[in-house]
Structure 1
Amino acid sequence: MEWKNIYRGLVMGISDLIPGVSGGTIAVVLGIYDRLLAAISGFFSKEWKKHLGFLIPLAVGMGSALLLLSRVIEYLLEHYYGPTQFFFMGLIVGVLPFILRKAEARTRFKTVHIVVLLVAAGLLALTAFLRTDEAIEPITALTGGTAIRLFFSGWLASMAMLLPGISGSFVLLILGAYSTAIAALSSMNISIIAVIGLGAVVGFIVSSRLIRYLLDVFPSVTYAVITGLILGSLVVIFPGVPAGIGLLAVSAGTFVAGLLIAVLLGRRE
C-alpha cells in the first residue's frame, strides 16, 4: 500500500470541495496525474488488483477530506474567501512550468497548439460569467427525477475532476447541485451521497480511459488543451482585488505559499 497517498488524497479532496479548484490540477501538482489515470482505468480491467495499493489510500484520504473537512472549507470560504482562493491560484500558477516541461512545449508546440491553448483558456474563462448562485434549496429526499439529476450531476462533475483546470464542484454549482452535495456531506445523508457517488464512479471510468487515449495518441494537442484549461481556471477562481493593505498582504502571502509548494513538488517530480 502506498500510504503516502492518504495525504495526497486529503489535498485532492479539499480541492474538490472548492468551486473553481480542480482536483486534476492538484494531482498534477502532486506528480500523480498519469498514475491516477492509469490506476482508475486499470482498476476496471483484468489487472485490477495491482492498482489497489495506489487507489485505496488515495480514496481513504479523499473520502476523509470530503466527510471531515466540508464544514472547515465552508468556514474558510465564508470568512477567508480571498486568501483561500489566492492560495489555490498560487498552486495553479506554480504547476504551469511542470506541465510545459512534461509537454516538451519548447520543441513540440507549434502555432496550432498555441491557438488550441488560447481557445481552451478562453472558453473556460467564460464560465466565470455563468450564473452560479443557487436559488434552489438543497435536496434532502430523493425522488425518481431528483435521483436521475443528481446521478448525472455526479457523472459530469467527476469527468471534470480528472481534467486539470476544470473543477468538479464548479460543475455541480452550475448544475444547481453543489449546495445539495455539501449539505449531504455535512449531514451524512447516505442516500444522496450514494447517488452522486455512483454517478461519479461512472464518470471516472469513462473519462480516465478517454484522457489516457488522447495523451497517448494526441499528446501535444492534449497538453495544449490542459495548459489552456489551467490558465483559464485562474479567471474562474480569481476573487477580486483584496480591499485593504492587511487583506492584500495576507492574500499575497497565501499566493506565494501556494506557488512555492507547487514549484517544489514539480521539481521533485
Structure 2
Amino acid sequence: MKKTKLLVLILFSLSISSFASIKLSSNFLNKFTQINDTIHQRNSATKRHSVTEVFPQFPGGTDGLQKYIKDNLKYPEISARNKVQGKVEINFVVTKKGAIEKVIVMTSLDKYCDAEAIRLIKNMPKWIPGKINGVPADMHRVISIEFKKNEKEEIKTSDNKDPNIYDEKSECPFTLVEQMPQFPGGKAAMDQFIAKNIKYPELSKNDKISGKVYVRFVVSKEGKLYNAQIMRSLDAYCDKEALIVIRSMPDWIPGKQNGVNVPVYYIVPIAFSLPLQ
C-alpha cells in the first residue's frame, strides 16, 4: 500500500514538473514570437522606406520640353490685348505607357491661357514613363506654362513687376546659408499654422490618397515668399491645396549669410493623412 502511494506521489510530481516546463516553454515561445514579429515589422518598415523612384521624362529631357513649349505655345490674342501675363500650372498623369491623362489646371491665369495650356499638354508626344522599384508606374507631374509678351516688346520697370514672382536671374537665391530662413515662431508655429489652415480635398480623401506634397519657394531678403512650386506631387487636388497654404503664410524671418539678409530656397512638406480606422 505504501509503495502504491509513493508511486502515485512520484507520478503527480512529475506531471506538475512537466506542466511547469510546458508553460515555461510556451511563455518563452510567445516572447520569441513577439520578438520575431517586432523584427518583421521593422524589416517591413525598412522595405517601405527603401522604395526607389524614377520620375517620368519628356523625350529629350528638360531642353526638349522647353523647345516643345516654345515651338507650340500660342499666346491667346485676347489675353495679350488685356495684358494678361503669368504662369498656368498644370497637373497631369504620365501613365506607365507614357500617355498623358487627367490634365487639370492647378493655378489659373485666365480661361483663354488655361485652355491653351491644357491643349499644349494634351498634344505632347508620349513621355518616358516613371518607375517605382524598376517597374513602370503611373505618376503625377506638374508643369508651369508661362505666358508673356515678346522680350523686345516688354518694358521692364519696377512698377510692373509681378508681386508674386521673384526674379531669380537678377539675384540667384542660396540653397544653404549660415542662418536659414524661419517661420515666425519656428517649426512648431509653422506646423500649427499648416494644421489650422490645411483643407483635405474631399475627392482625394474619398480616393484614400495620403502622403506628402513637397513645396519649394524662395524666402526673399525681406522675408516674403515667392515662386512656390511643387517639387514632389501627390495628386492635383492635394498639390493645389498645399500651394494655397504656402502662399497664405505670413512673412518669414529671412536667411542670413555673413550677417547680411539674402534670398534662400526653402522646401516644406505638407502632409495629408487619412484618419486612423
- Normalised to the residue count of structure 2, the TM-score between the two structures is 0.25
Greater share of helix: 1
Of structures 1 and 2, the one scoring higher in RCO (CA 8 A, sep 6+) is 1
Greater share of strand: 2
Give the greater-gyration-radius structure (CA). 2
